[in-house]
Amino acid sequence: MPEPDSTRPPAARLGGRAWGWDPPGPGGGSGIIGVAPFPETGPGEAGRRGGVGLNTAHCTIVVVDVEGFGLRSRTNPNKVRVRRGMYRALERAFVAAAIPWAACRHADLGDGVLVLAPARISKVLFADLLLGPLADELAAHNGAHPPSERIRLRLALHAGEVSYDDYGVTGSSILHAQQLLDASELKRSLAGTTALLAVIASDWLFDEVIRHSERSCADAYHPVGIANGGVAWIRLVQRRRDLSRRLRFA
């Protein structure tokens, strides 16, 4: 998710370490994430092509990246502290939202992280309870660090089928979430404000989850056109204490 004046870290490794999750053996077991078994194939074309049996699961997909992570003003020690702060903020926000971090799969993206949550975890938690605490955690981090180590995040929310293999995860739903995160509309929205968190929700997630919840601040989202001709929904999130102060004295 490059900035005009930054360089992109190494390509995303979607098969990254899934902390807190032990993959089941062949056949999948009872876990929601498994490795697809490779069926027996005889000689001939099927064997040469490497026939596989897909193992898929429906997941809530969260992808985040740090605005300006690759700026030249950030040294490598700065980047390490930013990454630590990003992970700490995410883990604490997940706890505050009652989303079990250890039950999710996490893949490090260099300047961000991909999180896959199993279908048994309610999507409403992501829409209602995650975003405010995350902005608060970012504010707490920024208050204790110099400008070169402060964090503003872009976050994409989506849900869909994810396929697993020996190398990690893939699927059109993951690609769509990453494309949402790369949307120029999202980058411009965050760049033009003092918000700490810019959220982009897929049209499906907004229509099926966010707009039906009275705690999701659905009115704070606005629709934008995206590159593939579709629609997504953007919301800017401030630290909650800043919002409450503004409301109190308005």
- Domain boundaries in the chain? 54-249
Q: In the structure encoding, which two tokens stand for residue 109, read together? A: 């993206």
CA dihedral 28, 29, 31, 34 (to 10 degrees): -20
Res 35 pLDDT > 90: no
What band does 141 get if pLDDT is binned at 50, 70 and 90? Answer: very high
Q: What is the mean pLDDT of residues 231-236?
A: 97
For 158-177, what is the mean pLDDT?
92
φ and ψ at 153, to 5 degrees? -115, 145
Structure tokens at 16: 């990254």
Q: Tell me which fold the domain 54-249 belongs to.
A: Alpha-Beta Plaits (3.30.70)
The CA-atom distances, in angstroms, between 110 and each of 4, 129, 173, 195 are: 18, 26, 20, 23
Confidence label for 228 from pLDDT (cuts 50, 70 and 90): confident
Comparing 195 with 36, the larger pLDDT belongs to 195
Residues in CB range of 237: below 8 A, 6 or more apart: 131, 132, 134, 135, 195, 196, 197, 198, 199
Half-sphere exposure in the Cβ direction for 144 (13 Å, CA):
8
* 201-225 per-position pLDDT tens digit: 999 999 999 999 999 999 999 999 9
Residue carrying structure tokens 């999180």:
115
Q: How many CA atoms lie within 13 A of 47 on its CB side?
A: 5
Query: Residue 224, by phi and psi: left (phi above 0), alpha (psi -120 to 50) or beta?
Result: beta
Q: Which of 32-36, 87-91, 167-171, 190-194 has the highest mean pLDDT?
A: 87-91
Q: Evaluate if pTM is beyond 0.75.
A: yes
More confident residue, 3 or 181: 181
Looking at the chain, how many residues does it have?
Answer: 250
- Looking at residue 239, what is its pLDDT? 85
Report the distance separating Cα 93 and Cα 96, nearest Å: 5
Residue type at 140 in one-letter notation: A
